[in-house]
Structure 1
Amino acid sequence: MNAKRIQAPLWAMVVALTVGLFASPALAQEPSAAAPEEEASGDDGLPEVDEDDPMYWAQMRDVFVMQQRAFLKEGRFALTVYGGVIPNNIFEQYFPLGLRANYFLLENIGLELATSFALKRPTGLQETLEDEAGAGAESVLIGDSQLSHTNFGLVWSPVYGKLAYYNDRLIYLDMNIYGGAGMTVVQTQSDFNAAPSTTVKPEGVLGAGLALYLGEHAAVRADYRQFIFQKVKSGVAKPSEVSLGFSWFF
């Protein structure tokens, strides 16, 4: 009976020691398991960036994409005032002043109606040819003297981009291609003894241009136009116009 009473406390001590031995490693591991959680909560692996930075989400997500620009043209009208020069006439140099009206069907496709009136200045070649000390010609037949151009066509902008000024200001730009048709008013003299007459001729127009957009409404344009029409006698006249203009979008 006494032996049984002694064995019972011994078994209790053995069980208590066994439980203590297995429990101690588990308790010791709990702090080390919690440590990575604390480290994870303190460092989420994301870069430290300013939330006001325009590239905030690109850096947070580490994704860089081509985004739609802030300046949009689709569904808008634009009016352009421009001036330029038509230099490739040996007898006269022209300085066109004109207007362009645009409506953009899509962001990269638009319609354009343009008209211009040309101021002109003689190059001096006619005087040289008629000068007795020069060629001594009695008269020089100039041919077509351009007065105005009016045309309608399609503008396609296959390329657009943007420029940054000291990472402080963005300027958006377009490069466009133009094709159209219209009419030109010219003063012609068919022969030496014929009186000058004013004639309206059909013409085709090809061109290209560059536009820089300043804010939501203003733009600066540089354009090239190649006019093509029939000469007074025979052949094809191909005057080239280079112009610079200021546009306003509505």
Structure 2
Amino acid sequence: MYMKKHAYIFLALLLLAPMGAMAQTETDELDIIELEIDKGTPAKQPISNSAPSYQETSPRDNTLTDFSGLGTLAPFKEISIIQKRFLPKTGRFQLFGGATVLTNNPFFNTIGGVAKASYFLSETWGIELNYFGLTTSERQTTEELRDIQGVSTENLVYPKSYVGVDLMYIPIYGKMTWFNEKIIPFDLYFSAGYGSTMTQADEAAGTIHLATGQIFALSKAYALRWDFSWNFFNAKGIDGSTNSFNNLFLTVGISWFFPEASYR
């Protein structure tokens, strides 16, 4: 009986051993399969709640120091800046007073005063009246020609005054700096017109007038202005002969604009 009991136990162990080995083998195979699956799965990136880093502005002066992001904005050629003129002229009058000097006469020194009155139809076009009151004296060269060389100078013509009307064209508006201290807006203009030059022989000679210059805005009412005026005319000397003359004037003065400026 005792021998039979041990025989049963031994037989049971023989039967259970292959089953345990099979279970262990299946477990190992499952672990290997799971490891292979994990290798083929892409690794998950950690989720970040922070925004991309940029150069922050200084908390004190609130000044931007990193402009690298501008490359993602719209091209600058598609951006327009609209700025009102500092010194608007449309529908306004201008009164100008200044001093002038004749720059291209080798025989006489001619200086004088200039008065101008303008009305601007738009920022580009205007009408202007001009008056030049002039005084003339002989240069030393002219005196030497008459006194030493015996050359007659009475036939030389110089202007006593000029009056005329111009059409003004103002195509350019710009700004410039004054020693990096102040920005001064300015207009560059051209004008052409017709008038009359009174000569020293009291002859009123028809005159073609051309001019160009700049108007530098000091405020909405006052401006510094300079220009070159070029007058072409034919006149008779004392001997009765007619000759062509041209006078180039450099003029500098102050302009006053009125009525009070109102932006469009």
- TM-aligned CA deviation for residue 181 of structure 1: 0.5
Whole-angstrom distance in 2 between the partners of 1:168 and 1:129: 51
Compared CA separation, residues 65 and 46, structure 1 to 2 (3 A): farther
Cα distance, 1:210 vs. partner? 1.3
User: Structure 1 residues 163, 199: closer, same or farther in 2, change over 3 A?
Assistant: same
5 Å-filtered alignment, 1:230-245, equals 230-232=234-236, 233-245=241-253
| Contact preservation (8 Å) 2:96, 2:116 | yes
Q: Which runs of 5+ in 2 are unaligned?
A: 1-46, 63-69, 259-264
What SS does the corresponding residue of 1:126 show, helix, strand or coil?
Answer: helix
Task: Give the Cα separation in 1 of the matches to 2:140 and 2:181.
Answer: 50
TM normalised by structure 2 equals 0.65
Deviation at 1:47, TM superposition (A): 7.5
Alpha-carbon distance between aligned partners in 1 of 2:112 and 2:93, rounded to the nearest angstrom: 23
1:162 aligns with 2:175: yes
Partner of 1:220: 224
Distance 1:181 1:120 in 2: 23
- Whether the 8 Å CA contact 2:86–2:217 is kept in 1: the answer is no
1:93 corresponds in structure 2 to 109
The worse-fitting range, judged by mean Cα deviation, of 65-74 and 159-168 is 159-168
* Paired amino acid for 1:67: I
Residues 211-231 of structure 1, C-alpha deviations (whole Å, 9 max, x = no match): 111111111111001101102
The alignment yields a C-alpha RMSD, in angstroms, of 3.1
Partner of 1:209: 213
The residue matched to 1:246 in structure 2 has which SS? strand
Q: 1:165 to 1:84 in 2, by over 3 A?
A: closer
Match for 1:245: what amino acid?
G
The structure with more radius of gyration: 2
Query: CA-to-partner distance for each residue in 1:7-41, whole Å, 9 max, x for gaps?
Result: xxxxxxxxxxxxxxxxxxxxxxxxx69x36xx59x
Please, what TM-score do these two structures have when normalized by structure 1? 0.68
Which of 91, 96, 100 aligns to 1:84? It is 100
SS of residue matched to 2:142: helix
Tell me how many residue pairs correspond in the alignment: 197
1:114 aligns with 2:122: no
The match for 1:65 among 69, 72, 80 is 80
Unaligned runs of 5+ in 1: 1-31, 52-58, 189-197
- Structure-to-structure mapping, 1:14-163, within 5 angstroms: 35=49, 39=51, 65-68=80-83, 69-131=85-147, 134-137=148-151, 139-163=152-176
Comparing 61-70 with 115-124, greater Cα deviation is found at 61-70
CA drift of 1:168 comes to: 6.0
Q: CA deviation at 1:46?
A: 10
Q: State the secondary structure of the residue aligned to 2:242.
A: coil
> 1:166, 1:157 → 2: CA distance?
26
Deviations 1:133-159 (A, max 9, x none): x2134x432332311001101111111
Matched to 1:159, the amino acid is: I
C-alpha distance 46-174 of structure 1, shift in aligned 2 (>3 A)? farther
Residue-by-residue CA offset, 1:82-106 (whole Å, 9 max, x unaligned): 1111132232121020111111111
Check 1:235–1:72 CA distance in 2 against 1; reply closer, same or farther (3 A cut): same
Per-residue CA deviations over 1:31-88 (Å, capped at 9, x if unaligned) read: x69x36xx59xx999988989xxxxxxx9x8865343333211111111101111132
Q: Distance in 2 between matches of 1:44 and 1:96?
A: 65
Structure 1's 142 and 66: CA in aligned 2 closer, same or farther, altered over 3 A? Answer: farther
